[in-house]
A and B are shown apart, each in its own frame.
Chain A
Amino acid sequence: MVTKPVVNDPISADIKKVLRQLKLSPMLDTLPERLTLARQQHLSHAAFLELVLSDEATRRDTSSAARRAHAAGLDPAMRLDTWDDTAGVRYDRTLWAELTSLRFLDGPHGACVLGRAGSAKHIWPPRSATSPSAAGYPP
């Protein structure tokens, strides 16, 4: 009879329970890899804690931005990093940089984005609104 090798789960049931209690269960997805990394690199307890908490902070930022973009009716594909810079469209790049910085919100100022059909004007505001600097603004 072949017995299955016992694989010790590095994450105990108690840790899982506490993480769930603290609404930190998404940390379980990356915790085993982070534990391995910590062992390999001989991270101190403080450094390990910083690593896993930074993971969680990044995860929350990402999901929060995605959730807010969805609630605001923005197309998630239309982000700054998906813009094709080789596209044959002309625009004032200085003004574009100003608008994507979202500094105009503090004015508060607005913007009129004008162009014929298909000139990507509808892409611009969503790209602005889903840029990292928009993270602090409610949709």
Chain B
Amino acid sequence: MLRADAMFKRLKASRLDNSTEAEMRRLAQVRLLLIDDFALQPMDATETADFYELVVARHHKTATVVTSNRGPDEWLAMMSDPLLAQSAIDRLTSTAHELVIEGQSYRRRQKPSAYCLMSRCPRGLIRCLI
């Protein structure tokens, strides 16, 4: 699993040592690629082009799962080249299931409970928080 920003950063860095092709090939061959937090922030021309290349290389060959705060209809506005963006989004979504998760934050579930915090606080300082 790769965070989208980290993946694009890695691809950009690979241009410094001419390893972009190898890096792209490696990403293209992964049987299940999970891209987390896609289109969280605007993507520049290089990132858009890299995303297009990746989607084309993986299309109909390997599975890609994308998680995002935005729907595919909003992704276009986050990318730089509308033509490449549209083509990539079309390919990606044409073979993808769409699972929408709604409701309250799951992260709150993972927050330690008051009891748990108190039992771990050596000086009872946690009382001021609850």
Contacts and interface: CB of A to CB of B under 8 A. Distances in A.
Please indicate whether A and B come from the same complex rather than being unrelated chains.
yes
Interface of A: 72-74, 84, 87-92, 95-96, 98-99, 102, 104-105, 107-126, 128-129, 134, 137-139
Contact of A138 (B1, B31, B65, B107): B31
Interface in B87-111: 92-93, 95-109
Contacts of A110: 63-66, 92, 95-97
Contact of A108 (B95, B100, B106): B95
Given A110-B66, A112-B72, 9 more contacts: A89-B103, A107-B95, A110-B97, A113-B67, A115-B69, A117-B69, A117-B105, A118-B105, A134-B32
A118 B98 CA distance: 18
Contacts of A137: 31-32
Interface in B61-75: 61-72
A112 B93 contact: yes
Contacts of A88: 103-104
Contact of B103 (A96, A98, A119): A119
Given A112-B68, A129-B34, A91 B1 contact: no
Contacts of A102: 32
Interface string B41-85: 000000000000000000011111111111110000000000000
B96 A87 contact: no
Interface residues of B, number: 38
A112 B1 contact: no
B1 A114 contact: no
B30 interface: yes
B32 A105 contact: yes
B126 interface: no
Nearest to A134: B32
